[in-house]
Amino acid sequence: MTMLLNIEEIDVRYGRNHAVKDVSLNIADGEIVTVLGANGAGKSSLLKAIQGTVKSTNGSIIFKGENINRWSAPKRVQSGLVMVPEGRQIFISMTVEENLLMGAYSRKNVDVTNEIETIFERFPNLKERRNMSAAVLSGGEQQMLAISRALLARPTVIMLDEPSLGLSPILVKQLFELIKEINSEGLSILLVEQNTHMALQYADRGYVLELGNIVASGTPADLLADEKLAKAYLGGD
Amino acid sequence: MVAVAFTLTIGMLNFLNFTIPALFMVAAMITWAATAAGLHWLVGASIGMFVSIIASLIIERFTYRYMKAKYGDATEHALPLVSSLGFLIIFEHVVIMIWGTDPMSFDSPFAHAQFKIGGIIFGIPQLISLGLSILLVFGLSLLLKRTRLGRALRSIAEKPDTATLMGVDVGRIVPVVFMMTGFLCALAGILFTINYKNVSPYIGDHVATNAIAGMVIGGLGNIWGAIAGGLIIGMVEVLSIHFWGADIIKVPVWGLMLLILVFRPAGLFGHTQIGKGKF
């Protein structure tokens, strides 16, 4: 199987803090891969290193066969590697529609009117508020907007950092259905989650990160079968 | 217009750029010097404009970008502010070394262009300046609202990290703000020269303090507020000269600013959060 995204032995350091240690991870075309772990395990740092907003010191990041280690974050976005940051990070000084236009920023001189209309068909709530400040949206709507915004960049891999954070159980369910849906449209997904239960239900494969190290990886069934892991990370529920 | 330049860097980059008055002064002095040397005043003004924009880009390289590269986020530190203050003083003294400290008179091409309404004399250049300022701010707000570049600028103003995730190359957009700053300052300096027919290396200081007061009164980061604040300052100055004489002029201006800060910390037209204002 050829890998779409291949991360080999990367390190992330913030001064003396060694946040990501020698991590290798890969995603095949069309896969949903999840990275699990407790707070401070280095999950977000790993995503940021892949996106290029923090520097990885060692190793290599191969995307579509190219070593993108030295690429800037905007260049990585342009090539199809797009992240939805933790906390959604909607631009509240802009309207809903302007937020979507920002998503398409990396595609120069492309008319995205039709694509925006398609998104509005999918999320009528966003359509109703298209010319309102994005600050009026609820948490769930903001997450939909954040994901739609990322989709407008036409990604091949979309990375989601704790998308279910702060959402009600019903919305979490809807969110994961949406993730499944965009996955079935051909996108590969790298999902960082604290909601291990849901993440393993939807993912094809998972990695467990502990203090910057990958301590386990495999299919959801493998991970759930490991008693020690199940106890430590995957909860009793 | 200087207030608009201030408010632009504050609103966009969260950076009180003290080189703004220096750019203003340099453009004014160059306009004067070139004209005095026998060039057409428009040629002089163009040179002044050019130098100011280039200088602003150099300043970006050595204040904002340097600090950002070194410490991650320039806006969290007072360093760019202090280094821009350094630039202000250096510029002032370079100009003093070249042309001395004496005020120079400028033969305005529009010296006698004025008219009277009800006993008040209006200079044509003054009206043109006002009209031009309003036009510029109108254009600027349209640019920020409607264009791709404008959205990129606003995204950087609000969440620079997220802007990067959208593919905005912050390192390439920030110089645009500095170029606009240079342009606005130079235009203001040139208009000042034409209006007051008098330049000196110290004009920047006076204008800067008024512009900062105007910006605060109008609301930080709000470009329309900056224009309104500038006009209010101008009016307060004229009225206080009329009623109390010229010596006291700073007192009502800064008194008004302090009052507004007490009662409306966000300014008259402002927004409470810097950089998240309406454009």
Q: What is the mean pLDDT of residues A187-214?
A: 92
Give which of A84, A96, A102, A131 to mutate to test B binding, by max B Cβ within 10 Å: A102
- When the pLDDT of each residue in chain A is averaged and rounded to a whole number, the result is 90
| Residues B41 and B263 sit within 8 Å (Cβ to Cβ) | no
Query: Beta-strand (E) ranges in B68-176?
Result: 104-105, 114-117, 120-123
- Pairwise CB contact (< 8 Å): B158 & A53: no
| Closest CB from A92, A93, A103 relative to B166 | A103
Residue B275 lies in a domain: no
For A97, name the nearest residue in chain B, comparing CA atoms only.
B151
What pLDDT does residue B79 have? 67
Q: Give CA–CA dist B67/A123, Å, rounded.
A: 42
Q: Has residue A189 got a pLDDT over 60? A: yes
Phi/psi for B233 (5° steps) reads: -60, -45
Planar angle of CA B28, B171, A153, nearest 5 degrees: 130
- Between strands A17-28 and B120-123, the pairing is unpaired
Top pLDDT among B180 and A114 is at: A114
Subunit contact A72:B157, Cβ cutoff 8 A: no
What residues are paired with A14 via a beta bridge? Answer: A17
d(CA B70, CA B66): 6
For each of the domains in chain A, give its residue range(s) and CATH number, in order of start: 3-232 (3.40.50.300)
Contact A184/A27 with Cβ under 8 angstroms? no
Got the DSSP string for chain A?
--EEEEEEEEEEEETTEEEEEEEEEEEETT-EEEEE--TTSSHHHHHHHHHTSS---SSEEEETTEE-TT--HHHHHHTTEEEE-TT----TTSBHHHHHHHHTTTSTT---HHHHHHHHHH-HHHHHTTTSBGGGS-HHHHHHHHHHHHHTT--SEEEEESTTTT--HHHHHHHHHHHHHHHHTT-EEEEEES-HHHHHHH-SEEEEEETTEEEEEE-HHHHHH-HHHHHHTS---
Distance CA B111, CA B130 (A): 17
Look up residue B75 and give its DSSP letter.
G
Q: In this predicted structure, what is the pLDDT of residue A233?
A: 65
Model pLDDT for residues A136-186, shown as the tens digit of each residue = 999 889 999 999 999 999 999 999 999 999 899 999 999 999 999 999 999
The least confident of A47-61, A88-102, B99-113 is B99-113
Domain span at B134: 2-105+121-203
By C-alpha distance, which of B207, B205, B193, B25 is closest to B98? Answer: B25
Residue B239 in contact with partner chain A when CB distance is under 8 A: no
Q: What is the mean pLDDT of residues A76-83?
A: 94
Alpha-carbon dihedral sign for residues B66, B69, B70, B74: positive
The answer to whether the Cβ–Cβ distance between A105 and B161 falls below 8 Å is: no
Number of Cα atoms under 13 Å in the Cβ half of residue B88: 18
Distance CA B102, CA A71 (A): 53
Instruction: Note the pLDDT of residue A204.
Output: 95
As for how many domains chain B has, the answer is 1
- Residue with the two structure tokens 């809807």: A174
Residues in chain B with CB shorter than 8 Å from the CB of A113 are: none
Residue B115 above 90 pLDDT?
no
Q: Do residues B128 and B140 lie in contact, with contact meaning Cβ atoms separated by under 8 Å?
A: no
Q: Is residue B114 part of a domain?
A: no
ipTM of the complex: 0.86
Query: What local confidence, expressed as pLDDT, does residue A180 receive?
Result: 95
The interface residues of chain B toward chain A in range 133-192, judged by CB-CB distance below 8 A, are 148, 151-152, 154-155, 157-159, 161-169
Of A53, A78, A153, the CB nearest to B164: A53
Q: Which residues of B touch A106 (CB under 8 A)?
A: 166-167
Contact across the interface for B166 and A102, Cβ inside 8 Å = yes
Which of A52-66, B141-155, B219-233 is predicted least confidently? B219-233
Are the beta carbons of B165 and A77 separated by less than 8 Å? Answer: yes
Residue of chain B nearest A98, judged by CA positions: B151
The beta-carbon neighbor of B158 closest among A51, A93, A149 is A93
CB pair distance less than 8 Å for B162 and A73: no
CA distance B21 to chain A (A): 29
What's the token pair of residue A36? 């699990």
pLDDT at A190 over 80: yes
DSSP state for residue B64 in the 8-state scheme = I
CB contact under 8 A, B148 and A72: no
pLDDT > 90: percent of chain A: 62
pLDDT of residue B244: 77
Judge residue A224's burial from the number of C-beta atoms within 10 Å of its C-beta, 0-12 exposed, 13-18 middle, 19 or more buried. middle
Give pLDDT, residue B109. Answer: 63
Q: Is B235 an interface residue toward A (CB < 8 Å)?
A: no
Distance CA A104, CA A56 (A): 27
State pLDDT tens for residues B30-85: 888 888 777 777 788 888 888 888 888 887 777 766 556 555 554 555 666 777 77
* Interface check B21 vs A, CB under 8 A: no
Q: Do B159 and A91 touch (CB under 8 A)?
A: yes
Task: Tell me the residue type at B174.
Answer: V
Q: Using a CB-CB distance cutoff of 8 angstroms, which residues of chain B are in contact with residue A103?
A: 166
Residue A218 CA to residue A203 CA, distance in Å, equals 10
Whole-model pTM: value is 0.80
Nearest chain B residue to A82 by CA distance is: B165
Here the contacts of A178-181 (C-beta below 8 Å, separation 24 or greater) are A178/A144, A178/A147, A179/A32, A180/A32
Which amino acid appears at position B75 of this protein?
T
**Looking at CA atoms only, how far is residue B277 from chain A in angstroms?**
7
User: What's the pLDDT band for B11 if we cut at 50, 70, 90?
Assistant: low
Alpha carbon distance, N-terminus to C-terminus of chain A: 34
- Residue bearing tokens 């769930």: A140
What band does B142 get if pLDDT is binned at 50, 70 and 90? confident
Nearest CA in chain A to B161: A53
> Which stretch of A194-198, A229-233, B268-272 has the lowest confidence by average pLDDT?
B268-272
